[in-house]
A and B are shown apart, each in its own frame.
Chain A
Amino acid sequence: MADVKHDVIVVGSGAGGAMAAYELTKSGVKVLMLEAGRDYDPKTETPMFKRNGEAPLMGAGNVDKDFGFYDATVDGGWTVPDEPYTMAEGTEFLWWRARMLGGRTNHWGRYSLRFSEHDFKGKSRDGLGADWPFEYDELAPWYDKTETLVGVCGANTGHEDMPPSSPGVLQTPPTPRITELLVAAAAKKEGIDLAPMHRAVLTAPKDIRSKCFYATPCGHGCSIGAAFQTTTSLIPLARETGLLEVVTDAMVRSVDTDDDGKVTGVTYVDKKTGKDEKLSARVVILAASACESARILLNSKSKKHPNGLANSSGQVGRNIMDSTGANIGAMVPALRNRPRYNEDGHTSNHLFIPWWGHQAQAKGELDFPRGYHFEIGSGFREPGSSVAGDLQGYGKALKDEAKANYGAYIGFALRGEMLPNEHCYMEIDDKVTDKWGIPVAKFHWKWSEHELNQIKHGLETAKVIFANMGADVGELPTPEEAILKGGEIIHEVGSTRMGESPTDSVTNQWGQTWDCNNLFVMDAGVFASNPHKNCTLTIMTLAMRNADWLATQMKQGVI
């Protein structure tokens, strides 16, 4: 095809898209990246050292900036102007979108835990959900490569839920803080170990990026590149090859096919002009985020693909999973009036509570499948709009009480595995379209007893650990009350899941759609399950591995 300027079009500039573009351009492939949001330059736009007190409303979150004024997500969030989505009656689902170059990597938590051999073969263990079409051992070298490129700090502790990285891959984790050490002792009394969190934060400099200086919230974004985001790492590194072109404000309407059903390119709306543009390429990679990629596929109907592109299995939009979430916390009296010191660290968990229950589960002692972990919220944080808690009285006594309680609160955030179920899926709304006339996603959602039992177990376990610290969390809420909404943890995956067979999955193990050999999905849509571990590291690892495979296929002329 002589008119083809780019070999590959990548839709999306977040974790999956940027990694695919990086890997392909390093292999000599010409890539055009389309981003639906605006251009974004963390070097000039990141309010790193800004304080809550300088922001409107003390930095508090609202519908304009869900995670607070200085959160790095611009033009996005759980609501996006001009881009509605709908929900079936009785459904509550929150769909986070970041409309900016770099996508959600600009503000994510940077927790980077490997999935383990158990995680890839859940169905073989308990008969539920689906296995992934490969073994952990096949992915392990790619985890090593991804962690090395991205820069992940952490440690190999031999914990059963945390497969080791090869020697020299992980950067040194920061030393734990007082509150984490207290939780560690209180959990150990119950036989539960803490471990250094693995985070995509540099504790030593790497390529064009600086190391962490242990100040400023990572959620503000990181102009020095220490906290990983594609805008300060993969995208500029890929651009250095001279083979990457990026077009922002490009909202993809459809993936286009020829009469044989083969992918020819994409049609996108240039949001600046409102006009449709058509592009052609040998290969199209969707990495627009799980539900956005599924939406594009379902909106790409043709004679050959009447139910949407790559949807002969009917599985596009199905099998959506989020992580389960619940919060529990209390003031710990022993921490009152404790000695002050700089407790910022890399501003997030230095230690966390990995899932400890594999053996109990194997023995049938638990009434739920799969696992969860606890992230710990604590510390002498920068004061914000809710610094003081619920206090009584007035005057100096009041202020002294507020100061005594400062840094004495500990909160656990549960993050657990959800099983796919038939009630959790998205489709295209037959009435509603967005500003550009593109039909929108409609969500269906329902938790099952697996998730509710898991939450119950988590709350009860947390209560015991808090009691060991001398803290009372009070009466526990029911799991139904405690569980956060679908989409609220922003770990939605599975809408284009991979598998062994075209009848029950959308892609093969390379993210290649069964129906079109030159159409790939390289975001979390391909996940066959959603282990309790945050998904971004695995999105990047799969994108690196699968883009490498794709580059080889292209060189060999297979695709």
Chain B
Amino acid sequence: MTDKQPDQDYQYLPRLSRRESLKWMGILAASAALPGLAACSDNTAVAATQAGHWPELSLAPVTAKGYGKDPNLIIPPETPWPRTLTPAQLTTVAVLSDILVPKDGNVPSASQVNVPDVVDEWVSAPYASQQRDRITILSALAWIDDEAELRFQKPFTKLSSAQQTAIIDDIAYENAKTPEQFQRIATAFSRFRSLVLAAFFCSPEGTKDIGYLGNVAIAGDYPGPTEEAKQHLDKMLQELGLSDYAYQEQRA
């Protein structure tokens, strides 16, 4: 974590097609007139009990059309479903994404490779598993803002890095020691984390960072493992007591 204070005016700006940016401007106009849109839950109903608080969101199901059984696979369609995160939610996603995957040397952070757009596309999709994730992730975002209000009387994105870290430290580990009040959010946050990591590693920069070297046409035979990889295998087999059982190629 960096200890710099977050930019209080930071707002994540999505990378959008023209069609989508027109919609986006509509949302911005609406949100200006509706302060407090970030907190989907009713804060007055939140009580910090032993079991913790949980925003019981009543979300209208997404009923948009999917891309269909026969989309153009060469030029994928702009996803036909509208994105649904508000500017405030998207900014929260961006801040959380960069806490999960910060800039690392020359490797960009999650928000720098537009992970929040992928998350938005995902939670806005009309398919069953994405709709399940929509409830999980929007609830997590609301919980995090509720928690920020309860602890520090500000939305999460307006907190200092130290304050943000204090909350994340409580919810980023799911194990036997996780206090009861954080168990549910820890599970939801795990799903969010998986999605952010996937979106990051799916980006060209993330794919390079993880070390994927395939999808490259090879002219001759498949070269197979490198010498370094083979040596590593030999060492593995030795340590596992499997050297005597090493594969012997049989070709007739």
Q: Which residues of A contact B (CB under 8 A)?
A: 38, 44-47, 49-58, 60, 62-65, 69-70, 74-77, 80-81, 155-158, 164, 167, 172, 174-178, 180-182, 184-186, 188-189, 194-195, 203, 212-216, 220, 334-335, 338-346, 351, 380-396, 398-399, 402-403, 406-407, 468-470
B26 touches A (CB below 8 Å): no
Q: Which residue of A lies closest to B233 (CB)?
A: A178
User: Within 8 Å CB of B118, what residues of A?
Assistant: 58
Q: Which residue of B lies closest to A40 (CB)?
A: B70
User: Within 8 Å CB of A164, what residues of B?
Assistant: 252
User: Within 8 Å CB of A396, what residues of B?
Assistant: 102, 104
B25 touches A (CB below 8 Å): no
B251 touches A (CB below 8 Å): yes
Question: Which of B71, B214, B229, B240 is in CB contact (< 8 Å) with A469?
Answer: B240
Question: Which of B68, B228, B246, B251 is in CB contact (< 8 Å) with A339?
Answer: B228
Question: Which of A60, A175, A470 is in CB contact (< 8 Å) with B240?
Answer: A470
User: Within 8 Å CB of A195, what residues of B?
Assistant: 250
Assembled-state Cα–Cα distance A46/B74 (Å): 7
Task: Choose among B122, B197, B204, B239 the residue with the greatest number of A CB atoms under 10 Å from its CB.
Answer: B197
Q: Are the CB atoms of A213 and B219 closer together than 8 Å?
A: yes
Indicate whether A341 sits within 8 Å of B73 (C-beta atoms), given known contacts A185-B246, A215-B218, A382-B212: no
User: Within 8 Å CB of B200, what residues of A?
Assistant: 399
Q: Are the CB atoms of A339 and B99 closer together than 8 Å?
A: no
Q: Are the CB atoms of B229 and A339 closer together than 8 Å?
A: yes
User: Within 8 Å CB of A74, what residues of B?
Assistant: 69-70, 73
Query: Which of B27-35, B147-155, B166-174 lies at the binding interface?
Result: B166-174
Q: Are the CB atoms of B66 and A391 closer together than 8 Å?
A: no
Distance in angstroms from A215 CB to nearest chain B CB is 5
User: Within 8 Å CB of B22, what residues of A?
Assistant: none
Q: Which residue of B lies closest to A79 (CB)?
A: B69
User: Within 8 Å CB of A339, what residues of B?
Assistant: 226, 228-229, 232
Q: Are the CB atoms of B206 and A155 closer together than 8 Å?
A: no
Q: Are the CB atoms of B193 and A398 closer together than 8 Å?
A: yes
Q: Are the CB atoms of A158 and B250 closer together than 8 Å?
A: yes
Q: Are the CB atoms of B250 and A157 closer together than 8 Å?
A: yes
Question: Which of A215, A220, A386, A407 is in CB contact (< 8 Å) with B194?
Answer: A386
Q: Are the CB atoms of A69 and B76 closer together than 8 Å?
A: yes
Please name 9 pairs of A and B residues whose Cβ atoms are closer than 8 Å in the assembled complex, sorted by A: A64-B127, A69-B67, A70-B73, A178-B232, A216-B215, A220-B73, A334-B236, A382-B214, A394-B172
Indicate whether A155 sits within 8 Å of B251 (C-beta atoms), given known contacts A76-B69, A395-B102, A403-B209: yes
Q: Are the CB atoms of A388 and B218 closer together than 8 Å?
A: no
Q: Are the CB atoms of A383 and B207 closer together than 8 Å?
A: yes
Distance in angstroms from A83 CB to nearest chain B CB is 11
Assembled-state Cα–Cα distance A189/B210 (Å): 32
Annotate B190-224 by CB proximity to A: 1 below 8 A, 0 otherwise.
Answer: 10011001111111101101111111111101111
Assembled-state Cα–Cα distance A394/B216 (Å): 32
Q: Which residues of B contact A (CB under 8 A)?
A: 1, 66-71, 73-74, 76-77, 79, 99-102, 104, 118, 121-122, 125, 127-130, 168, 172-175, 190, 193-194, 197-204, 206-207, 209-219, 221-226, 228-230, 232-233, 236-237, 239-240, 242-243, 245-247, 249-252
Assembled-state Cα–Cα distance A403/B104 (Å): 13
Task: Choose among B68, B122, B194 the residue with the greatest number of A CB atoms under 10 Å from its CB.
Answer: B194
Task: Choose among A65, A181, A189 the residue with the greatest number of B CB atoms under 10 Å from its CB.
Answer: A181
User: Within 8 Å CB of A391, what residues of B?
Assistant: 193-194, 197
User: Within 8 Å CB of A189, what residues of B?
Assistant: 242, 245
Q: Are the CB atoms of B222 and A345 closer together than 8 Å?
A: yes
Distance in angstroms from A374 CB to nearest chain B CB is 15
User: Within 8 Å CB of A155, what residues of B?
Assistant: 250-252
Q: Are the CB atoms of B222 and A214 closer together than 8 Å?
A: yes
Question: Which of B74, B212, B246, B247 is in CB contact (< 8 Å) with A383?
Answer: B212
User: Within 8 Å CB of A177, what residues of B?
Assistant: 224-225
Q: Are the CB atoms of A388 and B201 closer together than 8 Å?
A: yes
Q: Are the CB atoms of B197 and A387 closer together than 8 Å?
A: yes
Distance in angstroms from A387 CB to nearest chain B CB is 5
Assembled-state Cα–Cα distance A220/B73 (Å): 9
User: With A49-B215, A175-B225 given, can you name 14 additional A-B contacts, CB distance below 8 Å?
Assistant: A51-B204, A53-B202, A53-B203, A57-B127, A62-B127, A62-B130, A76-B69, A174-B222, A177-B225, A216-B215, A339-B232, A344-B214, A392-B172, A398-B101
Assembled-state Cα–Cα distance A343/B224 (Å): 7
Task: Choose among A51, A341, A351, A394 the residue with the greatest number of B CB atoms under 10 Å from its CB.
Answer: A394
Q: Are the CB atoms of A394 and B71 closer together than 8 Å?
A: no
User: Within 8 Å CB of A215, what residues of B?
Assistant: 214-218
Q: Which residue of A lies closest to B76 (CB)?
A: A55
Assembled-state Cα–Cα distance A498/B118 (Å): 52
Distance in angstroms from A370 CB to nearest chain B CB is 25
Question: Which of B79, B202, B228 is in CB contact (< 8 Å) with A384?
Answer: B202
Assembled-state Cα–Cα distance A81/B69 (Å): 8
Q: Are the CB atoms of B214 and A47 closer together than 8 Å?
A: no
User: Within 8 Å CB of B175, what residues of A?
Assistant: 392
Q: Are the CB atoms of A383 and B232 closer together than 8 Å?
A: no
Indicate whether A402 sits within 8 Å of B201 (C-beta atoms), given known contacts A390-B194, A393-B173: yes
User: Within 8 Å CB of A386, what residues of B?
Assistant: 194, 198
User: Within 8 Å CB of A80, what residues of B?
Assistant: 69
Assembled-state Cα–Cα distance A386/B130 (Å): 13
Distance in angstroms from B192 CB to nearest chain A CB is 11
Indicate whether A181 sits within 8 Å of B246 (C-beta atoms), given known contacts A69-B71, A342-B223, A394-B168: yes
Indicate whether A185 sits within 8 Å of B245 (C-beta atoms), given known contacts A383-B201, A383-B212: yes
Assembled-state Cα–Cα distance A98/B201 (Å): 31
Q: Are the CB atoms of B172 and A393 closer together than 8 Å?
A: yes
Assembled-state Cα–Cα distance A180/B203 (Å): 28
Question: Which of A58, A203, A346 is in CB contact (< 8 Å) with B202?
Answer: A58
Indicate whether A214 sits within 8 Å of B209 (C-beta atoms), given known contacts A158-B250, A392-B175: no
Q: Are the CB atoms of A468 and B240 closer together than 8 Å?
A: yes
Question: Which of A64, A176, A194, A402 is in CB contact (< 8 Å) with B210?
Answer: A402
Q: Are the CB atoms of B73 and A50 closer together than 8 Å?
A: yes
Distance in angstroms from A354 CB to nearest chain B CB is 12
Q: Are the CB atoms of B198 and A392 closer together than 8 Å?
A: no
Question: Which of B100, B193, B207 is in CB contact (< 8 Å) with A382?
Answer: B207
Q: Are the CB atoms of B68 and A342 closer together than 8 Å?
A: no
Task: Choose among A338, A386, A388 the residue with the greatest number of B CB atoms under 10 Å from its CB.
Answer: A388
Q: Are the CB atoms of A387 and B1 closer together than 8 Å?
A: no
Distance in angstroms from A464 CB to nearest chain B CB is 13
